[in-house]
Amino acid sequence: MIFVTNKGSQPLVAKYVDQWFEFPPGKSVQIEPHVARHIFGYGDDNKYQYLVRLGWMRMNTDHDKAMARLAEFTFTDAPVKPDQQSAVLVERVAPPAPRGRAGVKVQPQTSDEA
């Protein structure tokens, strides 16, 4: 389970299968990760279809405004208190791959090659 907190000023009501979920401003709502993915695109890099489904993006020119609205929602592993600035994120990005040629063996040079 994760907590979705609406840090915006507008409430959101969204449906998953046959259940309605309410996200009032300033409140944390506990939901399953697959529900957060369906509603908000939690864990998905491409948010286009979710922004359209929420009705926040009707044309491509609405993308920045819709993303700003989506940014008002936080996803955490614990409820956010009203006076709390931020919480530990549940959704994490994998660390970058090591640079260079890790694991490649270097052949020693012999005096003939010099």
Query: Per residue in 37-47, pLDDT tens?
Result: 999 999 999 99
Q: What's the pLDDT at 85? A: 46
The whole-angstrom distance between residue 10's C-alpha and the CA centroid of its chain comes to 20
Q: Chain-wide mean pLDDT for the chain?
A: 80
Task: Kindly report, residue by residue over 58-94, the tens digit of the pLDDT.
Answer: 988 999 999 999 999 999 988 777 655 443 344 444 5
Residue with tokens 């920045």: 64
3-state secondary structure at position 63: helix
Looking at residue 23, its amino acid is: F
